[in-house]
Amino acid sequence: MFHKETLLSRELVKGESISHPRKSAFAIKAITANYETANKNSVEKEIKWLRPNRGKLKLNIDASYYPNGLGSVAGVLRDSKGEVQGGFCRPIDNLLSAAMAEAKALHEGLVFLERFGCLSCQVEADALELIQACNGDVDINSPYAAILADCFQKAKEMEEISFLHCHREANQVGHELAKLAYINRENRVWEGDPPDVILPFVMNDVTLFTTL
């Protein structure tokens, strides 16, 4: 459970400068990964996951859905350096569609931000229709419209929020975390370092290039 004023909110809202030993370790790993990748003799391309602007946060959300009505939701909150600040994952039952699962992921993500004390954030997902609905580009009349209505209300309570669409390849951290929650039926909320199982995907996102 998070306190209303977390370590993150003190830094971003009050402007305090607090040193995190874990961030130094993360930076060292990222530099090493950059060096190794830059020295590979292969065709390279820029990474697809885009970091938020300096001083901003981005929450990537994703969901899984299966015909038996089961699925899962997940989200990962990262800063402009690509460092994970926290996240969540949990299994979901009684789903009617993949679109409902994505709506549930958004709802859980906004609840997470509220508990985390984060009032300004970019929310990114690979579900195009969901992002279009959040931006007012499409109207959705479906069994999960009530979920979206609650999401919109929570978004209004934030100081600043934007909704962005990304390709699935740019959402691998959220995808892997959702898969983990479904397979292990795991309900987890954390602040700080991510679970080890998704760390390779996190590190891949903060390297300068990815190899084809």
Residue-wise pLDDT for 151-184, tens only, equals 999 999 999 999 999 999 999 999 999 999 999 9
pTM summary value: 0.77
Given pLDDT bands bounded at 50, 70 and 90, which one contains residue 132? Answer: very high
What is the per-residue pLDDT for 49?
A: 86
How far is the C-alpha of 39 from the C-alpha of 24, rounded, in Å?
23
Percent of the chain beyond pLDDT 90?
67
Confidence of residue 13 (pLDDT cuts 50, 70, 90): very low
* Complete domains list, the chain, with CATH: 7-211 (3.30.420.10)
Euclidean distance between the first and final Cα of the chain, in Å? 40
Q: For the purposes of burial, counting CB atoms within 10 Å of the CB of 7, is it exposed (0-12), middle (13-18) or buried (19 or more)?
A: middle
Q: At what angle do helices 199-206 and 21-38 cross, to 10 degrees?
A: 70
8 A C-beta contact, residue 43 and residue 212: yes
Q: What is the pLDDT of residue 22?
A: 56
CB within 8 Å of 9: residues ≥ 6 apart:
116, 117, 118, 119
